[in-house]
A = this chain, B = another copy of it.
Amino acid sequence: MARVRAVDRRLFLLIEIAARRLSREADSRLRAEANVTASQSAVLFLLLRRGERRLGSIGEVLALGAPAVTGLVNRMETAGLVIKRKDSSDKRGALVDLTEAGRRAAERADQVLRGFNAELDDKLGETDAAIVYEALTRLATDADPVT
């Protein structure tokens, strides 16, 4: 069973397909149990664990471009999950922080995702999961061709 199905021999396409499936499942659980989207939950976690941050910093960690962060945070602000205020020490930037509702949502989302992640780890097995973590981290932190 060396051969994999046609399309799957392109790692990047395979990752996209896997990401799509996982995202769909995670998103539906997160919406149902925490009333947030998968993208939003990533921001919530970041703020929950590392506190108030600038927009650019969020984009850096999550590998998102500036326009994506602007839109995401704006929708979250409308939803009452975060507040945005001008950085008084550098008025170009804006700082984002959790609201109380945001904190509660973050904690619910964390529960949901913890469970989901555990299922995935089970599915892969301990050793494979560790290798995949490491491999994806490497790809995620260093995807540029001419390093």
Contacts and interface: CB of A to CB of B under 8 A. Distances in A.
Given A17-B63, A124-B139, A140-B18, A12 B131 contact: no
A143 B21 contact: yes
A7 B143 contact: no
B140 A123 contact: no
A145 B120 contact: no
Interface in A1-51: 4, 6-26, 38, 42, 45-46, 49-50
A100 interface: no
Most buried by B among A8, A13, A120, A145: A13
Number of copies: 2
Contacts of A46: 6-7
B145 A62 contact: no
B138 A11 contact: no
A120 B133 contact: no
Interface stretch (A73-81, A90-98, A111-119): A111-119
A99 interface: no
